[in-house]
Structure 1
Amino acid sequence: MDRFILTADIGGSHISSGVIALSSMQILKDTIATVKVDSQADAENIISDWTKALEQSLENHAGTIEGIALSMPGPFNYEEGICVMKGVGKYESMFGYNIRLVLFEKFKKYIADPSCITFLNDADAFVLGAVQSQNYKNEKVIGLTLGTGFGSGFVENGQLITEDSRVPKGGLMYCQPYKEGIAEDYISTRWFVKEWEKREGEKIKGVKEVAEADKITSQQLFDEFGSHLSATLKPWSEMFQPTKMIIGGNITNALDRFSSPLKNQLNIEEIIAYPHTEEASMIGAALHFLQQKK
């Protein structure tokens, strides 16, 4: 008999959830639910929206579940299940909340105890899930999520590497010192938005507008973005020596516009765009649940 886990990827604007069959590590399509979330709202409304998505997934699943596995942005105390987001423009009303206990109260009829709810950083979840889907289990992989922020994860032989001299602490690239600030200041949507306004005198919302603009500035920005990305990755790439790099997130569609510096500067045999970021994050969260329960 198959076993199942309820999983979800929590983002800044919505939550996607579904039930995963552990025999295939596939999300049951009929159970996929997406609910918009106002991450600036009060805690009660946010929890209500998260609960709504999870309940919708369970309503379309006839079997039982062994637990709930969540892919969650940081800062977050993943071991304890406590939200510590402050100064990041999302979910600040949740600061100090023990999300594990809050969700257990909502779903205790489905699971045995609070330890059946696990949390994993969203970028780590993405790379774990993408490694599974790409069958890269015997590879050394760097996974990146590029969009509003700069997420990263390192996987070797199917296992997350977070505390190792070959990777930054926690596998976190975004906070590495770079130029006059940190890496994320130069590797994020806000860098494109700021630089476009500075050079073109126009306000834009995101990278899609840069990609679609028929202007020299457009390719200049992508070239510079690729150079910033390769420069921040190079020292860690030399130490970790990955064989593959998987890139997800909102900027994935433009990979061919900024991939040249990555290919020229980093000694990685294959660099791919993986557009199914949420699906990979949900699968990765479920894999983490299984590893925690061993």
Structure 2
Amino acid sequence: MQNIVGIDIGGSHITMAQVDPEKREIINSTYVREHVDSFGPKETIFSAWISAIEKVSHNLDKDDLLIGIAMPGPFDYENGISLMQQGKFIDIYQVNIKEELAGRLSISSDQIYFINDAGAFLEGEVFGGCVQGFSKIFGVTLGTGLGTAFYNGETATDEDLWDSPFKNSICEDYLATRWFVNHYAELTGGKISGTKDLLDQSEDIQSRMFDDYADSFAEFIIKYVKNYDPEVLVIGGNIAKVYPYFKKRLNQHLEEHKINLPIKISAIFEDAAILGAAGYALKKSYR
């Protein structure tokens, strides 16, 4: 069996696990999550990454190891070079991460593959999640930010719609967690941190907010997602967990616009990027 490690690199953590390519699932006993100071110097970042990778792969044959890494952009995914010029990871701008990791792990750079984090989420759902067997899939992650990806039957690509024009601003302002925070403050003068807090409020305010959110999400699907002509829409991220609260109104809007689009909720949520990065590495290694 091929030894594969899937890795999800975020702004404050690195999360990873070994993946069983036959069962298409994470081997839970190998799960590793470490804090990373992404604003720190290059050596601090790489030391944290290497420490975590060595923990997850210590019992694997390095000659037969594949590593798939889900990475935020901007990034040169083919060559493994960071293009992030501001904020997090600024000290590794233009560093060839693929070569750095390969050298520090004593493996070939050909054993390491990178994929965009939004694409990795959708690859994970295709590889071992809720949309196995579909060939045209649109994926949306609804959380702190807005992630969008499209799977064309071969590969999932980041569609980068988060800052596309929407109403009087951009898509992310209406579909990410901050919309719930801001809209709740507008309606009540109070504070919530997200959808979990909203569920503790009165039914009236919940209904009002989830209806407003459904209106925006439907408009987003009509304006952008419909153009891809997907067979299915898969939703992940924390907001997907409250889908039952806005499902009915969302589907009513889609029916009114004669959009017959099945919607599936992520089967693996936070693990989707790890599974997707591993599945992507496996797929690329065969080519």
TM-score, length-scaled by structure 1: 0.85
Which blocks of at least 5 consecutive residues in structure 1 are unaligned?
A: 163-169
How far does the alpha carbon of each residue in 1:83-132 deviate from its partner, in whole angstroms, 9 at most, with x for none?
A: 22345x53334333322122122212xx2x22321111112111111122
Alignment-derived partner of residue 106 in structure 1? 104
How far does the alpha carbon of each residue in 1:48-74 deviate from its partner, in whole angstroms, 9 at most, with x for none?
A: 222222111112546754321101122
* Residue 184 of structure 1: how far off its partner (Å): 1.0
1:90 is aligned, of 68, 71, 88, to 88
State the structure with bigger RCO (CA 8 A, min sep 6), 1 or 2.
2
Alignment-derived partner of residue 281 in structure 2? 289
* Residue 21 of structure 1: how far off its partner (Å): 2.9
Residues 1:129 and 2:124 aligned together: yes
* Residue 148 of structure 1: how far off its partner (Å): 0.8
How far does the alpha carbon of each residue in 1:185-207 deviate from its partner, in whole angstroms, 9 at most, with x for none?
A: 21111222222223322333332
SS at structure 2 position matched to 1:212: coil
Alignment-derived partner of residue 32 in structure 1? 31
Q: Indicate if the aligned counterparts of 1:68 and 1:117 stay in contact, CA closer than 8 A.
A: yes
Farther off after superposition, 69-78 or 56-65? 56-65
Q: Indicate if the aligned counterparts of 1:253 and 1:275 stay in contact, CA closer than 8 A.
A: no
SS at structure 2 position matched to 1:205: coil
SS at structure 2 position matched to 1:251: helix
* Residue 261 of structure 1: how far off its partner (Å): 4.1
* Residue 46 of structure 1: how far off its partner (Å): 2.6
Q: Indicate if the aligned counterparts of 1:161 and 1:171 stay in contact, CA closer than 8 A.
A: no
Percent of matched pairs sharing the same residue: 32
Give the Cα separation in 1 of the matches to 2:119 and 2:138: 10
Which blocks of at least 5 consecutive residues in structure 2 are unaligned?
A: none
Alignment-derived partner of residue 167 in structure 1? none
Two-structure CA RMSD over aligned residues (Å): 2.4
Residues 1:160 and 2:148 aligned together: no
Instruction: Go from structure 1 to structure 2 and tell me whether the alpha carbon gap of 1:40 and 1:205 turns closer, same or farther (over 3 Å shift).
Output: farther
Alignment-derived partner of residue 58 in structure 1? 57
Instruction: Go from structure 1 to structure 2 and tell me whether the alpha carbon gap of 1:262 and 1:85 turns closer, same or farther (over 3 Å shift).
Output: farther
Alignment-derived partner of residue 216 in structure 1? 204
Q: How does 1:1-294 map to 2 (within 5 A)?
A: 2-61=1-60, 65-87=64-86, 90-108=88-106, 111=107, 113-133=108-128, 134=130, 136-157=132-153, 159-160=154-155, 162=157, 170-214=158-202, 216-266=204-254, 267-274=259-266, 276-293=268-285, 294=287
Give the Cα separation in 2 of the matches to 1:227 and 1:66: 46
Q: Indicate if the aligned counterparts of 1:125 and 1:284 stay in contact, CA closer than 8 A.
A: yes
* Residue 216 of structure 1: how far off its partner (Å): 2.9
Instruction: Go from structure 1 to structure 2 and tell me whether the alpha carbon gap of 1:97 and 1:208 turns closer, same or farther (over 3 Å shift).
Output: farther
Q: Indicate if the aligned counterparts of 1:146 and 1:188 stay in contact, CA closer than 8 A.
A: yes
Instruction: Go from structure 1 to structure 2 and tell me whether the alpha carbon gap of 1:227 and 1:290 turns closer, same or farther (over 3 Å shift).
Output: same
Instruction: Go from structure 1 to structure 2 and tell me whether the alpha carbon gap of 1:160 and 1:254 turns closer, same or farther (over 3 Å shift).
Output: same
| AA at the equivalent of 2:114 | F
Q: Indicate if the aligned counterparts of 2:66 and 2:282 stay in contact, CA closer than 8 A.
A: no
Q: Indicate if the aligned counterparts of 1:142 and 1:246 stay in contact, CA closer than 8 A.
A: yes
Q: Indicate if the aligned counterparts of 2:131 and 2:234 stay in contact, CA closer than 8 A.
A: no
| AA at the equivalent of 1:132 | F
Give the Cα separation in 2 of the matches to 1:147 and 1:90: 19
SS at structure 2 position matched to 1:137: coil
How far does the alpha carbon of each residue in 1:228-258 deviate from its partner, in whole angstroms, 9 at most, with x for none?
A: 2221221343332222221111222111122
Q: Indicate if the aligned counterparts of 2:149 and 2:160 stay in contact, CA closer than 8 A.
A: yes
